[in-house]
Amino acid sequence: MDTTWTHTTVLLNEAVEALFNNPDEPSNHAAGVAGTRAAQTYVDATFGRGGHSRLILARLSPQDHLIAFDKDPEAVAQAALIDDPRFSIRHEGFSHLGELASGSVAGVLMDLGVSSPQIDTPERGFSFRFEGPLDMRMDTTRGESVAQWLATAEINQIAEVIRDYGEERFAGPIAKAIVARRQERGPISTTTELAQLVADTVKTREQGQNPATRTFQALRIFINAELEELQQALEASLDVLQPGGRLVVISFHSLEDRIVKQFIAKHSRDEYDRRAPFAAPKVMQLKALGRIKPGASEVAANPRARSAVMRVAQRTAEGGGASA
């Protein structure tokens, strides 16, 4: 494993501050403050390279605990370097969040971005900028790679994935070109082969964007079931968060942000069952606290931050509804 890669965590301070800034709880999170409240558990649902986790640990009291999740074996290896009894890492996707005890978590942070080491390591196959195997799996120990899936998928399946997950208007022609190439010369096996095929197929390019950008995004999201896992993790957060607990989610493209936005909106209002108009409404479970984007200085220093959107919500008190 090459450990020379660096990763700049997006919205680092803003995300951790949002996770802890709870007006309903005394401000006693600083390390060294013990005995003033019960121990709290926090979750970094996407450890990555640990930027958020390390700052969270710096804010925890000695009796608190941080649980991190990550599917990437390299991320888990990085997490193992953290020598802190308050920290533990689980080699699982964050859809496993629901396995934690109900109401046991004071805050959940989800950073949905792909880490720089993943993108910039050719062997991982995430980037069209480097020659490498067409893999794109977050967890390289299980599941099929993009190359394996493209070797057998039908035209309509490929087109649907590229259209729905990449919002690519040339999804049909790209899918046809992939299958034609497969029939003529065998399956595509490298990132540069796929990038060149897409470039040859997509005649109209978006200014400043490689023509393969949307296709690579779509295949990565699909092969890792990213949107499905996000939906599962968001639903699980409602159960594991304690009243007053914070949910902080950083998204990097519109499909993710739409899911997060709609989820928070849905659970931030009382729900009435039209089939039972006289029944008591299901009270809201979240209170939306805002939307934050990186500032100009952060984007200038880290261009990958430009598309980030952070949304924050707070779990309402049990049965508290709109009064929370």
Kindly report, residue by residue over 300-321, the tens digit of the pLDDT: 998 888 899 999 999 998 543 3
Domains and CATH numbers, the chain: 12-116+226-323 (3.40.50.150), 140-223 (1.10.150.170)
Sort 310 into a burial class: Cβ within 10 Å, 0-12 / 13-18 / 19+: buried
- Tell me what pLDDT residue 187 has: 93
Q: Using an 8 Å Cβ cutoff, are 230 and 91 in contact?
A: no
- Tell me what pLDDT residue 303 has: 84
Give Cβ neighbours of residue 118 (< 8 Å, ≥ 6 apart): 72, 74, 124, 126, 138
Low pLDDT (below 50) residues in the chain:
1-5, 23-35, 273, 279, 319-324
Round to whole Å and give the CA distance between 150 and 146. Answer: 6
Round to whole Å and give the CA distance between 65 and 284. Answer: 28
pTM score of the predicted model: 0.87
3-class SS at 246? strand
The string of pLDDT tens digits covering residues 51-109 is 999 999 999 999 999 999 999 999 999 999 999 999 999 999 999 999 999 999 999 99
Round to whole Å and give the CA distance between 237 and 242. Answer: 9
Quick one: DSSP state of residue 163? H
